[in-house]
């Protein structure tokens, strides 16, 4: 079976590269030391196994979540990496993981355009956008008191990321363990496989 290709996106310093490196064990993935953007080029990780399926995660550079449309660039990069894998019959697209720091209470500007672009990258219906192939992952739970983090999470669900969730996105907590990371990936491996472009 071809490798499952999953894009990883999110604002600067949200923990994308850490997530990709930890799960894949790929030493080439660079992790930053601050909230400033560290990753400057996209790359597909070495493949690793989840539920008997080979998976490669595409790490992207972070974007400024306050700027409408800022997610376009990483999404285009993910789309082009996925197409290259599909052309070479190496992999099939299986979705996108959107990483967000739980203590970031100024979440991204999400528009209808964001939803359509995400659906397009995932190969799912664009109108109305079907985002069941997107998982919104909250990170850095240990950086704030748990009760506060739970409040942030509820706020993200009802406000900042409501449009995403209404379009079928699953929201999951990442606690830094292999089990937690693999559970997140396995959500995207269930059900229909991705569509080719
Ligand atoms: N405590 C904790 N720190 C984390 C976690 N994930 C990432 N970090 C730290 O957050 C900082 C940024 O992590 P990166 O993985 O480079 O974040 P990124 O989203 O790839 O950043 P850019 O590529 O710059 O957009 C680093 O100092 C990491 O060590 C986590 O789960 N827990
Ligand atoms: Mg990075």
Is pTM, for the whole model, over 0.95?
A: no
List, for residues 46-66, the tens digit of each pLDDT value: 999 999 999 999 999 899 888
pLDDT band (50, 70, 90) for residue 33: low
Per-residue pLDDT averaged across 180-189, rounded?
A: 96
Whose CA is closest to atom 6 on ligand 1?
Answer: 15
Q: Would you put residue 138 in left (φ > 0), alpha (ψ -120 to 50) or beta? A: beta
What CATH superfamily is the domain 3-189? P-loop containing nucleotide triphosphate hydrolases (3.40.50.300)
- C-alpha to C-alpha distance for 154 and 156, rounded to whole angstroms: 5
Per-residue pLDDT averaged across 81-89, rounded?
A: 90
Average pLDDT of the chain to the nearest whole number: 90
Say if CB 134 and CB 118 are below 8 A apart: yes
List, for residues 89-140, the tens digit of each pLDDT value: 889 999 999 999 998 866 678 999 999 999 999 999 999 999 999 999 999 9
* In the predicted structure, residue 157 carries a pLDDT above the cut 50: yes
DSSP E strands, 21-103: 43-44, 48-50, 53-59, 91-101
Domain boundaries, the chain: 3-189
16 Cα to the center of ligand 1, angstroms: 7
The residues lining ligand 1, judged by C-beta closer than 6 Å to any ligand atom, are: 10, 12-18, 31-33, 37-39, 61-62, 139-140, 142-143, 176
* Proportion of the chain above pLDDT 70, given as a percent: 90
Say if CB 149 and CB 102 are below 8 A apart: yes
pLDDT band (50, 70, 90) for residue 194: very low
More confident residue, 120 or 38: 120
Q: Would you put residue 194 in left (φ > 0), alpha (ψ -120 to 50) or beta? A: beta
């Amino acid at each position: 079976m071809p490798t499952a290709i999953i894009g990883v996106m999110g604002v600067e310093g949200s923990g994308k590269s850490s997530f990709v490196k930890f799960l894949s064990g790929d030493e080439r993935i660079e992790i930053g030391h601050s909230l400033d953007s560290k990753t400057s080029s996209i790359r597909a990780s070495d493949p690793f196994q989840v539920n008997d399926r080979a998976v490669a995660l595409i790490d992207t550079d972070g974007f400024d979540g306050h700027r409408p449309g800022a997610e376009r660039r990483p999404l285009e990069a993910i789309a082009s990496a996925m197409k290259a894998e599909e052309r070479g019959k190496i992999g099939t697209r299986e979705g996108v993981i959107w990483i967000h720091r739980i203590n970031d209470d100024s979440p991204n500007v999400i528009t209808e355009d964001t939803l359509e672009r995400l659906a397009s990258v995932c190969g799912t219906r664009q109108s109305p956008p079907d985002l069941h192939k997107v998982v919104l992952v909250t990170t850095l739970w240990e950086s704030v008191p748990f009760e506060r983090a739970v409040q942030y999470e509820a706020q993200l669900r009802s406000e900042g990321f409501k449009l995403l969730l209404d379009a079928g996105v699953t929201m999951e907590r990442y606690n830094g363990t292999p089990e937690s990371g693999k559970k997140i990936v396995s959500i995207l491996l269930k059900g229909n496989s991705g569509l080719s472009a």
